[in-house]
Amino acid sequence: MSRTVHAAAVQFNIRLGEVEVNLATALAGLRQAAAAGARLAVLPEMWSSGYDYRRLGELAEATPRVLAALCRASSDLRLTIVGSLADKVGDQVFNCAYVVDGGKVVGSYRKLHLFSTMGEDRFLAAGDRTLVVDTAVGRLGVAICYDLRFPELFRKLALEGAEILCLPAEWPKPRQEHWRTLLRARAIENQLFVAAANCCGVQGKLDFFGMSLLLGARGDILAEGGEVDTCLNATFDFAEMEEYRAQIPCYRDRRPEIYGHLP
């Protein structure tokens, strides 16, 4: 019997600065995911607060309480959960994706690439390490939103043994096709599953298109969201991934001695 994982992407309209409202929405989405049989659920980027830049430090003070609620949900619903929140350390605030598994935080990843076009680098500090973590659903590699434009990060996660790439995001219009194309490329080139959760709706001057995606290791679209709140579900079949890797042995045919240490 082949190994499978039922995955979900929980997509919703993040209410700027309204932690309690967003937490209630996220928990409802997680319950919906679990009821559909999911064992892995990915939430959007900065899902508890949105990019309320000038209040991020204040809003980050709620993160321990939000994480405690996620841990309870993970235990009660038997879910592995990934999503990013504001993380305050001293005077710095990070965009941090937490991996909650078995009722505990088992890993965290601070966003490496800050989107200077939107001023992230003015209000947030950048992380300095990658994350691949063992969970009940397999080895997860984690990235956040703008990281998607840096393929070398995802190859590193793949080479470190990631089986499923999890990506929380707040990716706005009009770059829908970039989103879809880059996600499919990351799946195809690394021959891995991808679970990507975007937000939807309007925050300030930004309009978010949703279109969360669950992708097979061939880059096939297993489930895709529209522009409204939704919970996507799909099954990742590891036998299909191994079959694809055997058919097109990209890892075996790599030439890292030529390009492995690019300047």
Active site residues: 45, 111, 145
Name which of 130, 163, 167, 157 is nearest 236 in CA terms: 163
Rounding to the nearest 10 degrees, give the CA dihedral for residues 10, 14, 19, 22: -40
Main-chain dihedrals φ then ψ at residue 90, nearest 5 degrees: 65, -125
Only one residue has tokens 């601070």, namely 110
CA–CA gap between residue 142 and residue 165 (Å, rounded): 6
Tokens read off for 232 = 């996507």
* Amino acid, single-letter form, for residue 69: A
What DSSP line would sit under 75-116, residue for residue? HHHT-EEEEEEEEEETTEEEEEEEEEETTEEEEEEE-SS--G
Judged by DSSP in three states, 135 sits in: strand
* Cα angle, residue 121 at apex, residues 117 and 125 outer, rounded to 5°: 150
**Cβ count within 10 A of residue 64:** 11
